[in-house]
Chain A
Amino acid sequence: MSVTPRLKADGSRVQAIGLISGGLDSTLAARVLAEQGVAVLGVNFSTGFCRSDHHRAMGALGKQQDPKRLRNEALRAGADLEIPVRIVDLAEGYLDVILRPRHGYGANMNPCVDCRAYMLRAARAIMAEEGADFVFTGEVLGQRPMSQHLQAMQTIERESGLTGLLLRPLSARLLAPTLPEQRGWVDRDRLMRIQGRTRRLQYQMAAAAGLDDIPNPAGGCCYLTDIVYASRFADLVLNLPADARPTERDILLLKVGRHFRLTPGLKLVVGREEAENNFLTHFFPEGPFLEAPHVSGPLGFVHIQPGAELPTLAQRELMAAIIGRYGKGRADEVLDVEYRHAGAAEMLRVKPLAADAPLDAYRIAQHYDRQAVRWR
């Protein structure tokens, strides 16, 4: 894209920091400003709750994936638009956003308003470091029920400390003029007036710009919006001792396998495919593990909360029987399942649980008390 650099009154170039996910809206917002000659630095924040990152890790661990699922869309957008995109690790501190959201949750454990404010505070810090002039996002008025209605957008702007310096190029002409518009750093007349959930105009803009390889925006990337993941997260938090917090590894474990809660300190995670088995051995090499050595089947990882009792023989046998249920030996009368821990191996002889055996007592329920999680 060849454009004339947009300059401020002092002759320096106008610079903006943009939150870039690589989705349709943020890509177009960046393009709208780049077309005006604004120097754009994209930032993409990693919180540890991104599905795309997980798909990529699973691809690296052996799962066959559509190559498009392996790419980082923010970088792809940066390459398409020829604007630098910096990926920033924002995981530290993010747990507080989830556990103590001032503005509550969306449909599941997703604290969207607080999350946006948290990310924009980080963007404000980068703006200051880089000597940039303002921050922008691809937010569209009325597009998302929790975080993109007018009041929420105003709250986010205020709580991020960016009052007057947060531009939403796709909806700007429906919103009060920001300082960048008032000062002539950007041309308000060349900004957009898009609102609502339909993306018809955005698709037209993308087609006109030749941007034909942008991922489908439906579904989102955040694990916290997913009821299965959110249930596991709530189960994790509510089973911790009152003074404990989830660790990064605790949270990582929520992304894979079937989860069975035996006691507050004891959980079995059963891999559903080879890549998940590889995930468990890669990230949790210390085990304990359960595996039937003579037949193909899943790997089980036993998650023991620090300070909790080691599993009893009855618990180890129950977990072995669950492992047996999901492997090729499920029809066997007796199955050998190895329990490996701390360099020692124990062979357990169990009858695999029948396919219709009730496991509901151990499965993690997909309903939970969000307020109990919130105020931990």
Chain B
Amino acid sequence: MSEQSQPAVTRQLDTRGTYCPRPVIDTDIAMRALAAGEVLEVLADDIGVKLDLPAWCRAHRQRLIAVEEEGRLIRVLIMKVGESA
């Protein structure tokens, strides 16, 4: 998905400098606070995030919009589509 077509970010979560499982724990907590249709942007430098957050989205049935990498920076966009445990 191109940058132009990405939805507006509702909240940003900067997890840089933390490693598994902290980025996932913080993403989970942040997603629970969002309303349906809102978008979380996660910034990370733990390369495991590239696997974890797509898996988290599948398990929690939330919409993964993008996983982008620029140098060591990983940027993940997730849209909340409904309540998940």
Binding site for B on A (CB under 8 A): 41-42, 44, 46, 52-53, 56-57, 59-60, 67, 70-72, 75-76, 78-79, 81-89, 130, 282
Contacts and interface: CB of A to CB of B under 8 A. Distances in A.
Given A60-B45, A79-B54, A79-B56, 7 more contacts: A53-B20, A56-B20, A57-B19, A59-B48, A67-B51, A75-B24, A87-B24
Contacts of A60: 19, 45-48
B9 interface: no
B1 interface: no
A111 to B, nearest CB: 21
Contact of B25 (A82, A84, A88, A282): A88
Contacts of B14: none
Contacts of B7: none
B61 to A, nearest CB: 7
B59 interface: yes
Contacts of A56: 19-20, 46-48
B15 to A, nearest CB: 11
B59 A89 contact: no
B69 interface: no
A302 B61 CA distance: 46
Interface in B37-53: 45-48, 51-52
A71 B51 contact: yes
5 contacts: A57-B46, A67-B51, A72-B51, A82-B59, A84-B61
A76 B59 CA distance: 8
A84 B28 CA distance: 10
Size category, B interface: 20 to 34
Contacts of B24: 72, 75, 87
Contacts of B17: 282
A89 B19 CA distance: 13
Contacts of A88: 25
B82 to A, nearest CB: 12
Contacts of A70: 47-48, 51
A281 to B, nearest CB: 13
B84 interface: yes
Nearest to B56: A75
B85 A75 contact: no
Nearest to A53: B20
A70 B23 CA distance: 14
Interface in B1-39: 17, 19-22, 24-25, 28
Nearest to B60: A84
A57 B51 contact: no
Closest 9 CB pairs of A and B: A78-B59, A79-B58, A75-B55, A57-B19, A79-B55, A41-B85, A84-B85, A71-B51, A56-B20
A85 B51 contact: no
Nearest to B22: A89
Contacts of B56: 75, 78-79, 85
A76 B20 CA distance: 14
Contact of A71 (B28, B45, B52, B58): B52
A363 B14 CA distance: 40
A41 B32 CA distance: 14
A83 B21 CA distance: 18
A272 to B, nearest CB: 19
A87 B28 contact: yes
A89 B24 CA distance: 11
A67 B55 CA distance: 14
A84 B84 contact: yes
B59 A85 contact: yes
Contacts of B28: 86-87
B47 A75 contact: no
Contacts of A52: 20
Given A57-B20, A72-B20, A83 B59 contact: yes
A30 to B, nearest CB: 11
A75 B52 contact: yes
